[in-house]
Structures are given as structure tokens and as C-alpha cells.
Amino acid sequence: MAENGEEKLLAVARHIAKTLGHNESMADDILQIFSTFDGRFSREKLSEGQPGEDGSTVSALERALNSLDSQISRFVAADQPIWSDPADSAAFLDAIDELVNITREWSHLANEKPVGACLARADEMLQQAMFRVEEEFRSLMERGAESFAVNNHRLDSDDEEEDVEGDDDYDGDQIPVAKPLTDYDLIIDALPSATINDLHEMAKRMLAAGFGKSCSHVYSTCRREFLEESVSRLGLKKLSIEEVHKMTWQELEDEIERWIKSANVALRILFPSERRLCDRVFFGFSSAADLSFMEVCRGSAVQILNFADAVAIGSRSPERLFKVLDVFETMRDLMGEFESVFSDQFCLVLKNEAVTIWKRLGEAVRGIFMELENLIRRDPAKAAVPGGGLHPITRYVMNYLRAACRSRQTLEQVFEESNGVPSKDSTLLTVQMSWIMELLESNLEVKSKVYKDPALCYLFLMNNGRYIVQKVKDGDLGLLLGEDWIRKHNAKVRQYHSSYQRSAWNKMLGLLKVDNTAAGMNGLGKTMKVKLKQFNVQFDETCKVHSTWVVFDEQLREELRISLARLLLPAYGNFIGRFQNLGDLGKGKNADKYIKYGVEDIEAHINELFKGSTTARK
């Protein structure tokens, strides 16, 4: 053993001389210095092992290889994991390092037959050593991941939040369930630090020996399985685009919720953690680290992107807007993570695909608004809403737009990314919303023509117009459309109010005008009697019909009643007062025959208007 140790010492001295000496003369000078420093470094001994043409030097190479073969073979044939004992792993790596150094030192004489044969043997020994290192590398990664999963973070998705401590049925092999994750701003160590250091030492030898692809393959295979399992535990399923499109809307909504959580955890925790692990294991070998990381994360990243893409190219039904916006916002918020995590040459395609899908989601949102426009245009004008009430399309569109405007900033971004040109005072989203409102109003105008009674036509427009204005005023939609829009549409509602009143009540009001040109008292009395009879009939019929009509807005209903009272009561009071002053004709039983209603009765009937029938109120 002492002799073997001295040989190693002499080999080291020769290696130093060869490395530091820029030419043969300098190397000789360095060897001379060594010989004067220590007797073991005599000039003769140092010269014995120098590569040359005599057989003694080849014998020294063979002896060194024999020694290393003995050591390496013992480790390669070992039944127990080499890395279970730090001393064994260190000795194994030292032997590999020495074998690599000898191969490098003698490589310039490879054309000489004896040396070439020795180097071929050394290469075979190195391959056997690398096969064992690869096996140890895989084993260490698997053992490290298993032990770490049990003792550290678990990023589960589901609702199993009970504390497992104290559970009589607790299985010691079960992975403890972590509390729900709320903070994404963390990076986890995917393997224990000591394991990472060992893996780095192995990777360094495999890469130096030309086994980089094998090392990267083993690494990426193990970590890919771990990562895909982690993503699966978050609840994200592997679905094709066709499978996503076949889902019911409720199923898709649930899947989107799971996708949002999975994408956040993957991009903000899992992928960055894998990036850091790659950089540590392959420290000093950036290309190998980048390639390995891409192989680890590509499958899970593509799974996340494919689902988002399936949503983007799916149905444009208006009810899907809000979930598509959720996916769009998630992709937008994660774009910084895509750019930072997938920044290297191998992952660039993933980053670019993420940007493309994000833009495609924006196109989907704009497409959904186009489909909403089509829905309004196609809504039939066949059946009239009972009592001139609120049309379902009005309620649907206004509530839809109000809900959409809760994501106003996102929608502003979506429409600004289109090719449209905003006006001087309006954003593209404002233009879009104004256009939808215009389509809705035009559609309601057409629907109002279904009513044969002009008064009911105006009441229908007044009801729907008031509802539209109220919905605009109370939210972000009003901020988009502006005060001027609200003022103009309030004026429209007042115009409908006036038109209704004129159409339904002006003729009746005309009956209450006294014709002073009538000849004498008798002529005036006859005329007033006829008018009273006509008024009573018309008032009865109008109240009977209009009491079945509906005004949903309480304030508008009260405004209508007050307006009608101000219109009718003074005129009616004056009329019957004049009638009662016509001598005997307007007094006592004679007057009661013609004056069916007192002023208070007229007011009471007006207050019963617009309550609607049961059907109209629905």
C-alpha cells in the first residue's frame, strides 16, 4: 500500500509539472525543483513514469490502471448503494477522477499501440463506472424525492384539510396533508440539500466523461414524474382539446377553477423550484441545466397551455365570457413567470406559446361580445311582453354588461389590443358598450311595434328605457358611457312618458273642456251631460285596461300616477263644478245621474293603475 501511495504521489508531481510547464524545458525545471525539495522526488523516479517510448512507462500506466480497476470493480459490483456510505462515495469519485486524469494525460500517445490498448481499457473501465454512477444517480433521486415528499411541503388541491394527528386510523406511510396554500411567493427545495450536493458531484463526473445526455435523461425522467404527479394532485386532468370541448358548461367551469389554482402553483412554485434544482445539480453546466429543465417541465407546461388554448378556441357563447376572462387574467398575471422561468434557448418555444395563447384568449373575449351582438339582433319580436313590462332581453343584456364591467380594466386591455381605433374621447371598450346599447335599443323599438295600442307601446319603451338607465347609473357601465349618455337617455324616458300620456289620456282630457259657445244653459247642459257620459265610459275602460299594465320601477310608477293626477284632477274638478252650477240640472238627484265619480274617486282609481296582472308582473 505504501508503494502504491508513493506511485500516486509521483504521478501527482508529474501532472503538476506537465500542467504548469508551458514547454518541455520548463517542465524539466519544475521536476528539478521537486527533486531538491524531497528525496522521494528524485530525478530518476520522476522520469520513470514519464510517457515515452520505452516499455517501463507503459508498465507504469498498466500498474495504475490495475490499481484503479481493482478499486472501481469493487464499487461497481457492490450490492449496497455506494452513496449510503460517504467514505465509499468519496473513494469511488476519487478513483473516477484519477482514471479520467490518466486518460487525459496519456491521450496524446493514443496512436502508439501499447498505450492505445491501455487507453481502450481505461475507457471501458470508465464506462462501467459511469453505468454505476448513473444507477446511483437515479436511485438517489428517487430516494431523495420520496423522503422529501413525506417530510416537507405537499401542494395538494382538495378539501382534505383535517389534521391527521391523533387519528386512530392514521397510516404511518400516508403523506400528511398541508393546509390550503394561499401564498404563492415561495420556492421549495425539491430535494434535501445533501442529496443535491451528491447529485451535483455525480453529474459533474458524468458530464466530464461525456455521459451528459444519459445524466440529463435520468434526471429529467425522475423529476418529470415527480412534477406531473404534483400537478395531478392539484386536480388538473390531462385533457385533449376535443375532451374539453365536449364538457358540459358546469364541468368546464369546475375544471377552469382547478386549472387556475394549478397554473398558479405550477408557474409560481413548482417550475421555479425545478429550475433552482436543475441549476444546483448541474452547476457549472448551464446548457445541461437548461436542457434538463425543459425536459422536466415541458409536459406539465404544455398540459397547462393546452387547456387554456382549448378554452380560447371553444364556444363563443356569451355566458362563457366570465370564465374566459378568468383564464385570460390568469395567463396575463402569470406572463412574468413564463418569461422568467422559460427564458433559456430550449424553453423559448414554451414562452412564445404562452404569449400566443394569451392573445388568443383576448380574441375569444372580443368574439364573445360579437356573439352577444348577434344574440340581440336575432332575438325575435313575435310575442309581446304582457302589460308592456320589462323584456327578458333587456334584463339579460343589462345584467350581463354590468357583470362584465366588474372586469373593466381587463376588458379595456382586451379591446385596446384589437386593431380598432378609439375615438378622441372614448376607449375601444366604451365604443363597444355604446354599440351594444344601440343594438338593444333598436331591438326594443322593433319589439314595441308588436303592441296594437300606441299607449302600451310607449309604456313598454318607458319601462325598458328606465331599467336601462338605472342599470347604467349604478355601476362601472355608467363610468364608461358617461354622464352625457345618461342625460340623453333620461330625456328619452321622459319623452316616452309624455307620449304615453298624450296617447292614452289626452282624448279623455278633451272631454273635460267646456264649450262656452253652446246656446244657452240648456244647450251647455246637454253638451256637458254627453261629455260626462263619454268620460265615465272612457275612464272606466282605460282604468280597467291600464290597471293590468305594469310599471316595475316604483319611482317611475309613482311619477306616472302623480303626473296623471295633476293632469286630470283639476280639469275634472272644474268640469263637475261647472256642471253643478247649471241650476236644477246639476243639483241633487239630477247631478248624481251624471256625476259617477268624485275627485277623490278619480284619484283613487289612478292610484290603482300599473299594478299589472299576475302574468304581467312575472
462-518 per-position pLDDT tens digit? 999 999 999 999 889 999 999 999 999 999 999 999 999 999 999 999 888 876 665
Q: Indicate the residue type of 278.
A: C
C-alpha cell at 612: 299589472
The band of 162, judged by pLDDT with boundaries at 50, 70 and 90, is very low
Q: What is the rounded distance in angstroms from the CA atom of residue 246 to the CA atom of residue 244?
A: 5
List 372's β-bridge partners, or say none: none
210-372 shares its CATH topology with 504-608: yes
**Is 497:459 a contact under the CB 8 Å cutoff?**
no
Tell how far CA 448 is from the center of its chain: 42
Inter-residue contact 264 to 184 (CB < 8 Å):
yes
pLDDT at 418: 77
Tell me the C-alpha distance between 252 and 239, whole Å.
11
Taking only the tens place, the pLDDT of each residue in 550-608 is 999 999 999 999 999 999 999 999 988 888 877 655 454 566 677 888 999 999 999 99
Q: State the pLDDT at residue 53.
A: 42
- Tell whether the model's pLDDT for residue 421 goes beyond 80: no
Does the pLDDT value for residue 425 go beyond 50?
yes
What is the domain partition of the chain in residue ranges?
A: 67-147, 210-372, 389-503, 504-608
Looking at residue 467, what is its pLDDT? 96
CA distances from 192 to 142, 154, 202, 215 (A): 12, 15, 16, 19
Residue with cell 365604443: 431
Torsion of CA 541, 547, 548, 552, to 10 degrees: 150
- The string of pLDDT tens digits covering residues 37-54 is 655 555 455 555 444 444
Polymer length of the chain:
618
In CATH, which of 1.20.1280.170, 2.160.10.10, 1.20.1250.20, 3.40.50.2300 is domain 504-608?
Answer: 1.20.1280.170
Q: How does residue 169 score in pLDDT terms, banded at 50, 70 and 90?
A: very low
DSSP sequence for 312-370:
HTS---GGGHHHHHHHHHHHHHHHHHHHHHT-STTTHHHHHHHHHHHHHHHHHHHHHHH
pLDDT tens for 444-470 read 999 999 999 999 999 999 999 999 999
Cell 461497481, located at residue = 76
DSSP output for 121-138: HHHHHHHHHHHHHHHHHH
- How much is the pLDDT for 158? 46
Whole-number Cα distances in Å, 471 to 387, 400, 407: 21, 10, 16
Tell me the average pLDDT across 149-166. Answer: 42
Three-class secondary structure of residue 40 per DSSP: helix
Domain 210-372 has CATH 1.20.1280.170: yes
**What are the grid coordinates assigned to 386, written together?**
304582457
- Residues contacting residue 156 through CB under 8 Å, at least 6 positions apart: 177, 178, 233, 234
d(CA 301, CA 305): 6
Determine the 3-state secondary structure of 611 from DSSP: strand
Phi-psi region at 402: left, alpha or beta (left = phi > 0; alpha = psi -120 to 50): alpha
Q: What is the pLDDT of residue 318?
A: 94
Instruction: Read off the pTM.
Output: 0.77
pLDDT digits (tens, 9 = 90+) for 243-256: 999 999 999 999 99
Cα 385 to Cα 86, 381, 496, 554, distances in angstroms: 85, 10, 17, 19
Residue 611's beta-bridge partner residues?
Answer: 550
DSSP 191: S
What is the rounded CA–CA span in Å between residue 459 and residue 437?
A: 19
SS3 call for 550: strand
